[in-house]
Amino acid sequence: MLHLLLALAAAACFALGMLTAGGAALILIPVVTWALGAQAVAPVVTVCTMSSGLSRIVMMFPRIRWDITRWYLPGALIGAFLGARLFATIVTSEDSPQALRWLIGLFLMSTVLQYRWGRKKAAFKTTIPMMAPIGFLVATGSGLVGGVGPVLNPFYLNLQVHRKEMIATKAFNAFLMHLTKVGTYVSFGVLDWRLLGFGVAMGVGSVFGNMVGRRWLARIGEKRFRTAVVWMMALSGLLILVTG
């Protein structure tokens, strides 16, 4: 029963996440914490998000921006290993990544002002080569807390990336990053068969959610998409601060 409930929660979150280019993993964090405990969050959410990313790659492969991926991916893979390794060493202390969560939450909440409630197309200058260090930092944080997807969205918005390109590119990069994290979690004994089962069940739910979300995405324009992305970033930040 718990597997089914978590799968349904993942389906709902990832359907919404398709419209907002992220946020699903962060919404799932308190759900997984309630169901399995804080120590299970990072490995379980990572397996789920990896499954979701694979389905989005299949759906939108032609829309991947390889020029962004070339710069983002090397740093992200290194950061994913480092973050997962750090998580494995501090897993006995659930409060260890607390300061990082607060920092992420405050940054995400500030985006609603940076983008003037979604009316502004870009908040600060971003170039494609900047995605290399950004990838390293975001992947390291993701390895520690499980999901920080919306943190990347301001940089994609500033690059004026089309909504489908944004979702496809993030999915491809995230899949390889999460695959690295899963391997690291397994090698250090953080991800066992029990947690893997929950992650896979949620992953199946996320695939169905993506199928529904893709239909919704086709019905909205760039302006509404940008507004939805900005508000989801703010709500995700608030959720992080409230749940701690």
Specify the pLDDT at position 141.
Answer: 85
Nearest to 176 by CA among 44, 45, 75, 41: 75
Q: Exposure of 151 by Cβ count < 10 A (0-12 exposed, 13-18 middle, 19+ buried)?
A: buried
Q: Which residues contact 113 (CB under 8 A, 6 or more apart)?
A: none
Highest mean pLDDT among 2-16, 32-46, 138-152, 224-238: 2-16
Tokens read off for 189: 């004994």
32-36, 93-97, 159-163, 194-198 — which is least confidently predicted? Answer: 93-97
* CB-side neighbour CA atoms (13 Å) of 176: 16
161-165, 207-211, 233-237 — which is least confidently predicted? Answer: 233-237
32-41, 61-70, 90-99 — which is least confidently predicted? Answer: 90-99
- How far does CA 103 lie from the centroid of its chain? 16
Mean pLDDT to the nearest integer, 228-236: 88
pLDDT at 95 over 60: no
Mean pLDDT to the nearest integer, 93-98: 59
pLDDT at 123 over 80: no
Tell me the per-residue pLDDT of 45-68, one tens digit each, with 9 for 90 and over: 999 999 999 999 999 999 999 999
Give the global pTM. Answer: 0.86
Q: Exposure of 195 by Cβ count < 10 A (0-12 exposed, 13-18 middle, 19+ buried)?
A: buried
pLDDT band at 101 (very low <50, low <70, confident <90, very high): confident
Nearest-angstrom CA–CA distance, 206 and 214: 12
Tell me the per-residue pLDDT of 142-186, one tens digit each, with 9 for 90 and over: 777 766 658 899 999 999 899 999 999 999 998 998 898 899 889
Output the average pLDDT for the chain. Answer: 88
pLDDT at 103 over 60: yes
